[in-house]
Structure 1
Amino acid sequence: MSERRLLIKGGIVLTMDPLLGDVLGDILIEGDRITAVGAGLEAEGAQVIDARGKIVIPGLHDTHMHSWQAPLRGGYAHGWGNADYHNNVFSLRESFTPVDMYDATFAAGVEMIDAGITTVLNFCHNTMTPEHADESVRAHRDNGQRAVFAIGMLGSFEELKTDHQWRLDKVRDLHAQFGDDPAELIRLGLAVSSMEYRSVDEVETEIALARELGLRMTFHQNVGGQLRQLHQLGLLGGDMLPAHANVAADDELEVLASMGGGISFTPEGEFVGGRSMTVIARSLKAGVTPSLGVDTAARTKVDIFGQMRITFTIMRYLQAQEEREADRWPLERRPGTPLVEPRTMLEFATVNAAQHIGLGDHLGRLAPGYLADLVVIDPGPYGMALGDPANHVVLRTAPADVDTVVIGGVVRKQGGRLTDLDAGDAGAAIQRVRTRVLGEEHPAMPPHLRKVPAA
């Protein structure tokens, strides 16, 4: 049987590869890999997708997402601080059954694919039983998104002393089910326990297990000094991806950079959550590679374009503020100022993110030999913005502009419509979880808008 072939024709291709640069031309895909990028490519018998007038980018990566929270979308939109988050979102963990985990994770993946997010690092801190983990993995397999399933080590706060061993055992069990081929859509990772809840010995055991099995790790770095503490204990490494880390000090960033490490930022949630945002620029200057995530649909729209846009806006604002305070006004370009361009944000969401999940040699670029994950963006009736096409991607694109999505050489969306998934199925799955967990037929409808039964 001949290998499937796909030819993307005539697009403005942002390869994100320093040797290829931007190309007005074609991408040839054979099987799950890109085999050629250039102008005038031909491939007899290939499926052809017309990308003329459109922008082609590598598939977007979300490196910090709690997929199980998809049914709780908007439940923390009004939130003010951690207490609101725990009351409205996190406290519902133990109401989720394995069936709910399947529906939530499946729906999250469908929405992400629809929005051009081809890869997710699912920080699953709702593995309350082994079956919760199994159903989450099954959902990832069924929706076909490329995923790192980072199984959470933090369980019920009431059972922290008794539930650790089965979680460690479950990691080994799942690891035995996964291969080492980078082309596999599902990979196993480990979401290390928050250090404020588990003992140092328990955290050290988790990290040792992950390194024994060759798993990438991620963890919430919400409390100041934790990167320093991990380093002093000899535990910090470039195979660990801190999420948030807004409170990281410069010396911690320097150590992380020396290990080739990165940080996953969820800028929209962090910004409206009152966290300091200076760390993104400080990380970049220190040599730490930033990537981006949505974090939770309970707060934020599932939209990496939006995360790129707000990150660019925040970083430009903070640097302009520094210039004003140094009496350098009006703004003028000079070496190092401005620090970032819109294209830098696209690097965060593609090249950097691929490195963070351990697939930097296989994903994040549109170049021969790389896995064929890509997104075609339709600028719409008003046309493409002037200047660098990356500016249009970062500053003017929304999920609704995603015309085509390819994952592993398979067309998952074309002409603005999902090909083998149904958004309606995802919406129904979300409603099922809401009904079971919240006990309401229409939990999204605020009480004051519900119809009052006739007398």
Structure 2
Amino acid sequence: MPERLLIKNGFVITMDPLLGDVLGDVLIEGDRVAAVGANLTAEGATEIDARGKIVIPGLLDTHMHSWQAPLRGAYAHGWGNADYYENVFNLRESFTAKDMYDATFAAGVEMIDAGVTTVLNFCHNTMSPEHADESIRAHRDNGQRALFAMGMLGSFDELSVDHQWRLDKVRSLHAELGGDPSSLLRLGMAVSSMEFRPIEQVEAEVALARELGLRMTFHQNTGGQIRELHRLGLLGGDLLPAHANVAADDELELLADCGGGISFTPEGEFVGGRSMTVIGRALKAGATPSLGVDTAARTKVDIFGQMRITFTIMRYLQAQEEREADRWPLVRRPGAPQVEPRKMLEFATVNAAQHVGLGDQLGRLAPGYLADLVIVDPGPYGMALGDPANHVVLRTAPADVDTVVIGGVVRKQDGRLTDLDAGDAGAAIQRVRTRVLGEEHPAMPPHLRKVPAA
């Protein structure tokens, strides 16, 4: 059960516009923040000393395929989508329900260890009802706050047969999980990719999700899809496009008009050769961006890294525009630069909370909000000069995560997980590799490697 907890003497980045930054304390009662301020006292509360450390809201990942945790590195050398489908996605039908449990459990443990308190698990490997059940059981067991987005994309050779049971499964899962927004585990829907499914199936999925009040997300990889969803009356702020690199400016404006945004997965998209301009264009259009890792097959499970590379990409692209407009050397002017590091923290907290349907309950450290937070230890060299948010975004790695609290429960303290074991997660990953790949060695088997010979 959550305990009464008092975080003392930290530099608190609340991400709340009324509270701002506070050199002081955070009081947690039950699963909620009770107070933020200086010199707080709470009789009987467990105290955690955050002196010299930075306290931030828990980080959220809004686009993660948790089932791919055991395939870490399988797409590290990838060159375009063909490598992904050949080396990663084609393995999904080899995953049993047991593999889904182990993979999802391990992914959650690693994310908690890295300060990611909430995940939108885009589970496009629900090849049977049991696959979904075991993924949900894993989320329950690792205790990460999760929006389990049930994947509606089934076998490519069974377009209609496997669609109805998925719709039925969503109904039954909704009845099982309920709709309490404060619950650690909530149900969502990963809508079928429009390029692979008839639009009638997509319409049926969106209708069901809205009937049940579920958040939705989808892979937006082909031009014009947002415009088409708008034309059909399906676009809404409850439907989150992932990637959206090819979205046109008018589509981003349509998203903004309905209070929507995009989930940007910068590291995977950048090295995968996709256009990076969408993140700046989305922000300019008023479509809120959030961030995701996407897949451990390509990228380290690290939202700090995603914030850092997003900042670098956005600054580089804007500087390039300035040069091309003959505004050189760079000088500050209205709109230039477009972002500071703190904006990245907003992407990974405030915006992300909105994208998982908890914008009024998560993503800030303020009274009444869910008590998810992370304490960052700057280490022996101390906090960087200037805005402490700069230190979080530009100088922090998962190894610097000192403490993690989820729903008022301390899940990591003094740099060590409290009720989970990283070794158990590693063993789960190895079990999946042994069953799926038939290989006991911890490295990816040679037959999956596509690295060209030297």
TM class by shorter-chain length? over 0.9
Residue correspondence of structure 1 range 394-405 to structure 2 within 5 A: 394-405=393-404
Contact persistence 1:363–1:370 (CA under 8 A): yes
**Structure 2 match to 1:353:** 352
Contact persistence 1:320–1:331 (CA under 8 A): yes
Residue correspondence of structure 1 range 327-346 to structure 2 within 5 A: 327-346=326-345
**Structure 1 match to 2:129:** 130
Alpha-carbon distance change, 78 to 189 in structure 1, aligned in 2, over 3 angstroms: same
Aligned length: 447
3-state SS, counterpart of residue 61 of structure 2: strand
Aligned partner letter, 1:247: V
Gaps of 5+ in 1: 449-455
**Structure 2 match to 1:16:** 15
**Structure 1 match to 2:68:** 69
Residue correspondence of structure 1 range 174-213 to structure 2 within 5 A: 174-213=173-212
Distance 1:86 1:156 in 2: 14
Aligned partner letter, 2:428: A
TM-score by length of 2: 0.97
Distance 2:178 2:126 in 1: 22
Please give the root-mean-square deviation of Cα atoms over the aligned residues, in Å.
1.1
**Structure 1 match to 2:219:** 220
Residue correspondence of structure 1 range 48-447 to structure 2 within 5 A: 48-444=47-443
Note the C-alpha offset of 1:445: 5.8
3-state SS, counterpart of residue 157 of structure 1: coil
Note the C-alpha offset of 1:159: 1.6
Distance 1:231 1:272 in 2: 30
Distance 2:286 2:2 in 1: 41
Contact persistence 1:435–1:443 (CA under 8 A): no
Distance 2:402 2:280 in 1: 32
Contact persistence 1:13–1:24 (CA under 8 A): yes
Per-residue CA deviations over 1:114-162 (Å, capped at 9, x if unaligned) read 0000000000000000000000000000000000000000011122221
Distance 1:445 1:300 in 2: 15
Distance 1:182 1:251 in 2: 32
Distance 1:8 1:255 in 2: 42
Contact persistence 2:10–2:51 (CA under 8 A): yes
Contact persistence 1:149–1:186 (CA under 8 A): yes
Distance 1:127 1:398 in 2: 32
Contact persistence 2:63–2:121 (CA under 8 A): yes
Aligned partner letter, 2:79: W
**Is the deviation greater in 208-217 or in 2-11?**
2-11
- Structure 1 stretches of 4+ with a deviation exceeding 3 A read 445-448
Alpha-carbon distance change, 195 to 440 in structure 1, aligned in 2, over 3 angstroms: same
Contact persistence 2:11–2:21 (CA under 8 A): yes
Distance 2:233 2:160 in 1: 24
3-state SS, counterpart of residue 149 of structure 1: strand
Distance 2:145 2:91 in 1: 27
3-state SS, counterpart of residue 201 of structure 1: helix
Note the C-alpha offset of 1:447: 5.6
Distance 1:225 1:443 in 2: 42
Note the C-alpha offset of 1:183: 1.4
Aligned partner letter, 1:294: V
**Structure 1 match to 2:452:** none
Distance 2:428 2:445 in 1: 20
Per-residue CA deviations over 1:71-130 (Å, capped at 9, x if unaligned) read 000000000011100110000000000000000000000000000000000000000000
Aligned partner letter, 1:262: G
Alpha-carbon distance change, 255 to 3 in structure 1, aligned in 2, over 3 angstroms: closer
Contact persistence 1:125–1:153 (CA under 8 A): yes
Gaps of 5+ in 2: 448-454
Contact persistence 1:57–1:374 (CA under 8 A): yes
Aligned partner letter, 1:85: Y
Aligned partner letter, 1:370: Y
Note the C-alpha offset of 1:179: 2.4
TM-score by length of 1: 0.97
Contact persistence 2:104–2:139 (CA under 8 A): yes
Contact persistence 1:294–1:303 (CA under 8 A): yes
Contact persistence 2:32–2:367 (CA under 8 A): yes
Aligned partner letter, 2:170: V
Aligned partner letter, 2:144: Q
Is 2:38 aligned against 1:39?
A: yes
Aligned partner letter, 2:80: G
Note the C-alpha offset of 1:3: 7.2
Note the C-alpha offset of 1:4: 2.3
Aligned partner letter, 1:330: P
Contact persistence 2:64–2:119 (CA under 8 A): yes
Distance 2:182 2:78 in 1: 39
Contact persistence 2:73–2:444 (CA under 8 A): no
Aligned partner letter, 2:40: L
Contact persistence 2:437–2:445 (CA under 8 A): no
3-state SS, counterpart of residue 147 of structure 2: strand
**Structure 2 match to 1:451:** none
Per-residue CA deviations over 1:345-384 (Å, capped at 9, x if unaligned) read 0000000000001100100000000000000000001111
Note the C-alpha offset of 1:446: 6.2
**Is the deviation greater in 76-85 or in 3-12?**
3-12
Per-residue CA deviations over 1:257-288 (Å, capped at 9, x if unaligned) read 00000100000000100000111000000000
**Is the deviation greater in 337-346 or in 178-187?**
178-187
